[in-house]
């Protein structure tokens, strides 16, 4: 009995001690140090991140512009095919009318075909005349049927082409929508990063951007690249340069081709368009399709393509300088031709 009392007392004391100890344990847990906050990015890291976001937006802009160009082409082709289908149907109706006229003429002859009338005549002159008409009529009928078959086959091809073009058109519209979303997302992300900086930091950020461009330009000029480069420009190149220089101060807007704003390839396309020369819409297509020249042979008016993905382009104006539409939030301006990573040079002429 005594043992049972002692055991009960021991259990009671343990429970009491546990209850008393619990707040202390809770306080001790609450007092545990929080994990340190992530280290703040340096301004240079922010600059690089913003620059990367705008470059991604530039790639998406090229995708959007290309999809828009293809959409215009497909729309024009659909209109052309629709016109050919209408003309083909009109041609079929005309051929049917011609066949009907032939059938009515036969009915007026008593329902007898020319061949039967030829057999029934005993006049040699009529026989020869009817034989000639029979031969011509047979050829006309064969030609008529052949033309109807060919026209119908063309209509089938046109209908198939229309279906293919509609499919391509819808695919390009989807690509446009996806690229547009990506552009807006990347620009918004870049603007958010910049907006989180204090006013003084934004000023320093612009200074860092300029210092990076100057560093790249100085390195490029240090290679002696300008040695031997001609300052002469062709008459068309002079016109293109004059146009591009006339746009300085106008804002960059992605997808814009002027006259109030431009993206990088919209500016170069419009400048060369002012000379009567049509060049592709995007920087990637301009790089892919225009004749390439070695940088040691570069002339004013040539287009300099930047970055490994050909996502930016500007126009060389001489003396190591180019004019370009940089990115959202910036205006068309002059800059060092070597202030960014050069992929190559193309010549629209």
β-pair partners for 292: 346
Spatial distance between the Cα atoms of 346 and 104, rounded to a whole number of angstroms: 67
Spatial distance between the Cα atoms of 321 and 338, rounded to a whole number of angstroms: 8
Catalytic residue among 6, 15, 125, 264: 264
Tell how strand 303-306 and strand 342-346 pair up: antiparallel
Buried b (16+ CB within 10 A) or exposed e, 78-115: beebeebbeebeebbeebeeeeeeeeeeeeeeeeeebe
| Per-position DSSP letters for 217-260, written without gaps between them | HHHHHTTTTTTT------HHHHHHHHHHHTTTTPBB-TT-BSSS
Whether 155 and 85 have beta carbons less than 8 Å apart is answered as yes
β-pair partners for 314: 304
Catalytic residue among 6, 15, 125, 312: 312
Catalytic residue among 6, 15, 125, 324: 324
Spatial distance between the Cα atoms of 241 and 164, rounded to a whole number of angstroms: 41
**Angle, CA of 182, 337 and 219, to the nearest 5°:** 105
Whether 96 and 218 have beta carbons less than 8 Å apart is answered as no
Whether 255 and 62 have beta carbons less than 8 Å apart is answered as no
Whether 268 and 313 have beta carbons less than 8 Å apart is answered as yes
Active site residue 264: yes
Active site residue 15: no
Neighbour count for residue 314 (Cβ, 10 Å): 29
**DSSP single-letter state for residue 41:** P
Active site residue 125: no
Collapsing DSSP to helix, strand or coil, 9 comes out as helix
Whether 53 and 189 have beta carbons less than 8 Å apart is answered as yes
Residues annotated as part of the active site = 264, 312, 324
């Amino acid at each position: 009995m005594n043992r049972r009392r002692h055991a009960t007392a021991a259990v009671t004391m343990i429970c009491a001690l546990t209850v008393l100890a619990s707040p202390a344990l809770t306080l001790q847990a609450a007092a545990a140090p929080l994990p340190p906050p992530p280290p703040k990015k340096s301004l240079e890291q922010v600059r690089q991140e913003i620059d990367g976001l705008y470059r991604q937006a530039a790639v998406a802009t090229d995708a959007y512009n290309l999809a828009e160009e293809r959409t215009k082409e497909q729309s024009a082709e659909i209109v052309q095919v629709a016109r050919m289908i209408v003309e083909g149907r009109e041609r079929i109706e005309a051929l049917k009318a011609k066949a009907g006229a032939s059938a009515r003429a036969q009915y007026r002859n008593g329902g007898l075909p020319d061949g039967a009338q030829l057999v029934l005549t005993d006049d040699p002159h009529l026989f020869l005349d009817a034989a000639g008409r029979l031969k011509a009529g047979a050829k006309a009928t064969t030609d008529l049927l052949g033309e109807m078959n060919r026209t119908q086959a063309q209509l089938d091809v046109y209908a198939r082409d229309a279906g293919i073009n509609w499919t391509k058109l819808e695919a390009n519209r989807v690509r446009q929508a996806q690229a547009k979303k990506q552009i807006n997302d990347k620009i918004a992300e870049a603007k958010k990063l910049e907006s989180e900086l204090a006013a003084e930091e934004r000023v320093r950020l612009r200074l860092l951007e300029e210092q990076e461009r100057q560093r790249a330009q100085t390195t490029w000029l240090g290679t002696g690249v300008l040695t031997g480069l001609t300052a002469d420009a062709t008459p068309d190149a002079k016109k293109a340069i004059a146009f591009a220089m006339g746009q300085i101060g106008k804002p960059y807007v992605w997808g814009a081709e002027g006259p109030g704003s431009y993206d990088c390839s919209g500016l170069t396309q419009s400048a060369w368009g002012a000379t009567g020369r049509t060049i592709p819409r995007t920087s990637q297509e301009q790089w892919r399709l225009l004749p390439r020249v070695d940088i040691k042979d570069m002339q004013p008016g040539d287009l300099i393509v930047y970055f490994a993905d050909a996502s930016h382009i500007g126009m060389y104006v001489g003396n190591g300088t180019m004019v370009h539409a940089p990115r959202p939030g910036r205006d068309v301006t002059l800059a060092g031709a070597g202030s960014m990573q050069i992929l190559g040079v193309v010549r629209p002429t």
